Structure 1
């Protein structure tokens, strides 16, 4: 699962929880339950405008227990640490946000391409290759030069050697030429799905990895 997918799922869950909480507060504040004659279960929060979210009994139920405050502090610490980690992951990127494009025959003109646009172009050019089922491409920072990392899943019976040749002469060569680079190192990771036998299916297919210089 990609980082963007995880972000969408987390944001969707948080949005649903906040929406539900907001509707509870709104219904209680407007005294909708009484007006609609709703029969609420015992302990339902915000049943009336003058009722707090948590009753006094609920707020003080465990305060005298020795484990209560350490548990509260530990829970809040984990929440803050998780939020800080998530923020760090969002801000950290292993590759450049943009990359310069050559402008032969012109002076004073600078062109820069979004890295994600280049990655999408490479994915589009790779997924149409023979026996390719799925592909993900990242542009990483190398030692003073960009480097590709491509993860490819082949259809059952796919040949990794043929994929390496097609990737080298196709998407990778096109990207290198477009960027005006003499070399564009690539780390190509492949997974070949098993043809069908139950034993092979349980093993999850063959895996391969190739570095292209």
Structure 2
């Protein structure tokens, strides 16, 4: 969902900036533009002197404009930094027992979780992602179950075996997990 929102926002902002840049470029190069085009005259400006001085006598106007622009700037920087944050954990700190730490690739732990979950009878497909911090990871697991499998049994096997093995092998105190179960689609069986 967040990817869709990001793509829509980026597309909308890009379109607005492209249109605004095109208008400024057309105006600056003195190209002939349609009559409905804003700023079509050679001496048109974005803000006229009357527009700039209209709210000068109101003491609240410029502080509100500056505060709104500051909030917009902070939100934009936050959004930009959120784009660079990785959703998946690339490595996990493992206590080696001698006071030092070793790094375990997150993808390796994810693939072990996936293969152990898929080895369970009745699980068609498993997908695991590690999130969180290097010293406190969390797992997000999705299981595709066959129609005859009890969700309770699948969840019990996953938490009691696969997640416990991953937690113990990485030397973690805990490995919280969010598990999503989904049933595989199947065709109707004919009874004769």
TM-score when normalising by structure 1: 0.52
In the alignment, is residue 70 of structure 1 matched against residue 70 of structure 2? no
CA 87–30 in structure 1, closer or farther in 2 if over 3 Å, else same? closer
Partner of 2:22: 23
Q: What's 1:148 paired with? A: 139
Note if contact 2:91-2:104 (Cα within 8 Å) is conserved in structure 1. Answer: yes
What are structure 1's unaligned runs of at least 5 residues?
102-109, 194-213
Aligned to 1:32: 31
Normalised by the length of structure 2, the TM-score is 0.57
Query: Secondary structure at the residue paired with 1:33?
Result: coil
Distance 1:92 1:138 in 2: 14
Post-superposition CA distance 1:150-197 (Å, at most 9, x none): 47799xxx9541331464589758x939x954677342344789xxxx
Distance change in 2, residues 1:164/1:53 (3 Å): same
How far apart, in 1, do the equivalents of 2:115 and 2:11 lie? Answer: 28
Q: Taking structure 1 as reference, are residues 152 and 51 closer, same or farther at Cα in structure 2, changes over 3 Å only?
A: farther
Pairwise CA RMSD of aligned residues?
A: 4.9
Matched, 1:81 2:46: no
Deviations, residues 100-159 of structure 1 (Å, cap 9, x unaligned): 89xxxxxxxx9964x4786699689979x96999977333337x46432347799xxx95
Per-residue deviation, 1:83: 2.8
2:32 aligns to what SS in structure 1? helix
The counterpart of 2:177, out of the listed 171, 178, 187, is 187
How far did 1:75 drift? Answer: 0.6
Distance 2:64 2:5 in 1: 28
What is the aligned residue count? 173
- Contact in 1 for aligned 2:142/2:180 (Cα 8 Å): yes
Matching of residues 44-193 of structure 1 within 5 Å: 44-45=38-39, 47-90=40-83, 96-99=89-92, 113=105, 115=106, 137-141=129-133, 144=135, 146-150=137-141, 159-165=150-156, 167-168=158-159, 172=163, 176=166, 181=170, 185-190=175-180
Distance 1:171 1:32 in 2: 67
1-structure distance, mates of 2:104, 2:128: 22
**Cα deviation 1:40-87 (Å, max 9, x = unaligned):** 26xx23x14443222223333322233311221221221132134334
Asked whether the 8 Å contact 1:140–1:149 carries over to 2, the reply is: no
Whether the 8 Å contact between 1:151 and 1:189 is mirrored in structure 2 is yes
